[in-house]
Amino acid sequence: MLGAVALLLWGLYMVHTGIGRGFGDRLRLIVGQGMSSRPRALLAGIGVTMLLQSSTATALIVASFAGSGLLKAVPALAVMLGADIGTTLAAQIFSLDLSLLAPMLLLVGVVMHKTTQKVIYRQGARALIGLGLILLSLGIIVHGSEPMRDSPVVLELFAALAGEPLIAMLITALLTWLAHSSLAIVLLVMSFAGSGIVPMPLALAMVLGANLGGVIPPVLATLGQGAAARRVTFGNAAFKLVGAALLLPFLGLLPPLLAAIDGAPARQVVNFHTAFNLAVAGLCILVLPLVVRGLEKLLPDEQDGQSAEGSRFLDESAIETPIVGLSCAAREALRMGEYVEVMLSGFAQTLREGDPDKATQLMETDDIIDGLYEDIKLYITRISRQEVDEAESLRIAEILSFTTNLENIGDITENLLELSAKTARRQMRFSDEGLSEINDLHGRISANLNLAMAVFMSADVSAARRLIEQKRIIGALERQVTENHLERLREGRPESIETSAVHMDILRDLRRI
């Protein structure tokens, strides 16, 4: 029995990851485009979740959009209501007798996976294999649970729980959280009810528990994110909690009504699951603006700058879709580059103005750059563990190389700022020609940094060639500037002699950048 449950969870995981990796970018586009109205957002949530077989995955996608400001709270919560309905429709499909399809799905999936090299087809094959495993596991659970009907211990246990629906609901919620799949638990309860092991009132309480447990993983996953992301998962959890609390006292009245619709116990379980989520969605979608206003009071936006230093675009839900995850990492790398630009431009300003306090303040920016580098590196490492194609592997290497260079530039610029602060504190003064040459070299290097970031994002060949040519020009300019400084030393210029060591260190560090 435990092996069959494990097979069910693995089948759901294969469907989720196969669809997510192969079609995740398209599904995210559907979520992003279906926001013009609450009904469209609801339908988008239904469709995406039926394909992903995971309302948690949909919740993380929607929360990431909301956290990035791409999605308002009202349509985001409408998508989540649709996602809850989507899982019930998947349960409806799996409640049908589709056992004959299992061998066919497994055969087609394995043949596709072995005979094609295109990632999208291989991931589609993975999803087909997962569907076959789900159907196979459900058959094993049904047959494996038959001896349990004659077990006094099992029957006594479920009889005791039948008298404590609240405890049964909470235990099932805990199991659902541990399994990270409300669909799997509902299908398991359906199988037990169909085998006559679980009485119907208890099965209904367990379905409510599965619905409650299904909202826990998204809530925990967004605890460290911004208020906009947390409003989505907390709001959806509140819908389920209120709905379950209102319905729990009346569960004993529902079995006759469900039996009038369909006499099969398994069908009664999934019909109740669907009816509960339809009722919650139908009632809550009408009051979403009021709910959002309440959530905004409970979870107000952070003050400006409160969380500006952490990573902003590394979307956890995109890791299983490498092409989307790499885009997120590239956006964060550009943000890292912006901090490097702030440090580099600040160096020239502090050198001109002789402001040691400003230089010291800018040196702290290197800690932000180091933190972003670590976040991006770990994020990219997790993406690399997915099934990636050759182009995605190349992009992973590019992002790691680019961010490593940015981190090195941050360290070098920190040295430059330290030299600037040292010059200001000692009231050292560069010659007018020397300072002008440093500013000219610095300006060219700053322009090259901007060009490098453009090449990183666009992969434009002509821009890359210009970047290589500029590197040669800057090298020649640095040699000329060094020669000019040495000539001023030979002339015995006092300011050049006084600042010579600092001057040469600055030229060395600018050349390294």
- Concatenating the DSSP letter of every residue in 194-259 gives HTTSS-HHHHHHHHHHHHHHTTHHHHHHTTTS-HHHHHHHHHHHHHHHHHHHHHGGGGGGHHHHHH
**CA within 13 Å, CB half, 470:** 19
Instruction: Check residues 466 and 140 and name the one with the higher pLDDT.
Output: 466
In this predicted model, what pLDDT tens digit does every residue of 416-428 receive, in sequence order? 999 888 888 888 8
Confidence of residue 304 (pLDDT cuts 50, 70, 90): very low
Task: Tell me the domain boundaries of the chain.
Answer: 2-298, 316-512
Confidence of residue 85 (pLDDT cuts 50, 70, 90): very high
In this predicted model, what pLDDT tens digit does every residue of 204-245 receive, in sequence order? 999 999 999 999 988 988 887 788 889 999 999 999 999 999
The three-state DSSP-derived secondary structure of 149-188 is HHCHHHHHHHHHHHCCHHHHHHHHHHHHHHHCCHHHHHHH
Is the pLDDT assigned to residue 324 strictly greater than 80?
A: no
- Concatenating the DSSP letter of every residue in 363-374 gives HTHHHHHHHHHH
Q: Which amino acid is at 229?
A: A
Phi/psi of residue 156, nearest 5 degrees: -70, -40
Tokens read off for 502: 């600092």
Taking the mean position of all CA atoms in its chain, how far away is CA 87?
21
pLDDT of residue 307: 46
Distance CA 72, CA 10 (A): 34
Burial class from Cβ neighbours inside 10 Å (0-12, 13-18, 19+) for residue 156 reads exposed
Comparing CA positions, the residue from 165, 119, 163 lying closest to residue 17 is 119
Is the pLDDT assigned to residue 142 strictly greater than 80?
A: no
The gap between the terminal CA atoms of the chain, to the nearest Å, is 62
In this predicted model, what pLDDT tens digit does every residue of 489-503 receive, in sequence order? 888 888 888 888 888
- Give me the mean pLDDT over the 126-147 stretch: 79
pTM for this structure? 0.66
Residue 335, number of CB atoms within 10 A of its CB: 16
Average pLDDT, the chain: 85
- Give me the mean pLDDT over the 233-262 stretch: 92
Which residues have C-beta within 8 Å of that of residue 114, sequence separation ≥ 6? none
Distance CA 122, CA 14 (A): 12
Is the pLDDT assigned to residue 33 strictly greater than 70?
A: no
CATH match for 316-512 among 1.20.58.220, 3.40.50.620, 2.40.30.10, 3.30.70.380: 1.20.58.220
In this predicted model, what pLDDT tens digit does every residue of 164-189 receive, in sequence order? 899 999 999 998 898 888 888 898 89
Q: Which amino acid is at 60?
A: L
Distance CA 229, CA 220 (A): 12
Confidence of residue 305 (pLDDT cuts 50, 70, 90): very low
